[in-house]
Amino acid sequence: MAESRHLVCITFDFDAMSGFIARGMTSPTPISRGEFGVVAVPRILKLLDEYRVPASFFIPGHTLETYPVESRMVADAGCEIGHHGWTHRPPVTLTREEEEEELTRANEQIKALTGSYARGYRSPSWDLSPFSVELLLKHGFSYDSSMMGHDYLPYRVRRGDVIELEKPVVFGRPTRLIEMPISWSLDDYPHFEYVRTRESLLPGLQNANLVLDNWVNEFDYMKKAVDWGVLTYTFHPFVMGRGYRMMILEKLLKHLKDGGATFTTMESACLEYDARDPQQTTA
């Protein structure tokens, strides 16, 4: 039997204020809230370096242009730079043309920063459009990280599902695009951020040690459930950079390391999946 191997991807969406602007929250306080991400980035890079953890940062074009120095710092630290839209508007809210324009514009910036186009894409607010898969394939992406169809195993993204109310789903064909699945439960934002708008209230502000308990158990269960798997955590510098949250991030890295996790970038985990489970698809 092959040796078991449990990969962990530590990922950060370096949104800064782009997500607030995309929601129309442009007054000074939400802008400053995003600005805190820049305070957090050096702290995070230092911690990652201490634990020798390779990480993936998904950076919107808006952040790449607003904070070129900090974006360079992330790239120079050896982190993978993934695509996270330009304006941080979710693709499902855009026309096909707007979505492609965002893909191209931010990808050129990523190429200017790293020397190559992004291999991976994570949609802002995790909501792909009906055009996203086709556009990601057209623009040469290897993987997406916006869907929730598995917890520990990557899979091939389908194209051409037919979804109609009062009818069973007709599944489309798998494509060569690989999904590196995510989950809101493994994302810092809903657990910690307090966001009040006219329409909604996100309470956030949970006890960090209780959240840590969930995150640790996800890894421990992965070891029971699969011999080979990938667990992806999604953090945001402006969320995770607060002191008491940095403390649990360090505890998490320590637990994972002691538990035998192999830390990799998403791109590396994606390549490893592809090598283990090649699937000939032409869709």
- The residues that touch Zn ion, with contacts defined as CB under 5 A, are 13, 15, 124
Least Cβ distance, residue 265 to Zn ion (angstroms): 18
Residue 189 Cβ vs Zn ion, minimum distance, rounded to whole Å: 8
**Closer Cβ to Zn ion, 120 or 124, answer by number:** 124
- Beta carbon of residue 14, minimum distance to Zn ion (angstroms, whole number): 8
Query: Closest CB to Zn ion among 21 and 261?
Result: 21
Least Å from the CB of residue 273 to Zn ion: 23
What is the C-alpha separation between 235 and 249, in angstroms, rounded? Answer: 10
Pick between residue 22 and residue 222 the one whose CB is nearest to Zn ion: 22
Q: For residues 33 and 156, which CB has a smaller minimum distance to Zn ion in the complex?
A: 33
Q: Which is nearer to Zn ion, 15 or 99 (CB)?
A: 15
Q: Which is nearer to Zn ion, 87 or 175 (CB)?
A: 87
SS (HEC) of the chain: CCCCEEEEEEEEECCCCHHHHHCCCCCHHHHHHHHHHHHHHHHHHHHHHHCCCCEEEEECHHHHHHCHHHHHHHHHCCCEEEECCCCCCCHHHCCHHHHHHHHHHHHHHHHHHHCCCCCEECCHHHCCCCCHHHHHHHCCCCEECCCCCCCCCCEEEEECCECCCCCCCECCEEEEEEECCCCHHHEHHHHHCCEECCCCEECCCCCHHHHHHHHHHHHHHHHHHCCEEEEEEEECHHHHCCHHHHHHHHHHHHHHHHCCCEECCHHHHHHHHHHHCCCCCCC
Closest residue to Zn ion, judged by C-beta, is 13
Shortest distance, position 170 Cβ to Zn ion, whole Å: 31
Q: In the bound complex, what is the minimum distance in angstroms from residue 16's beta carbon to Zn ion? A: 10
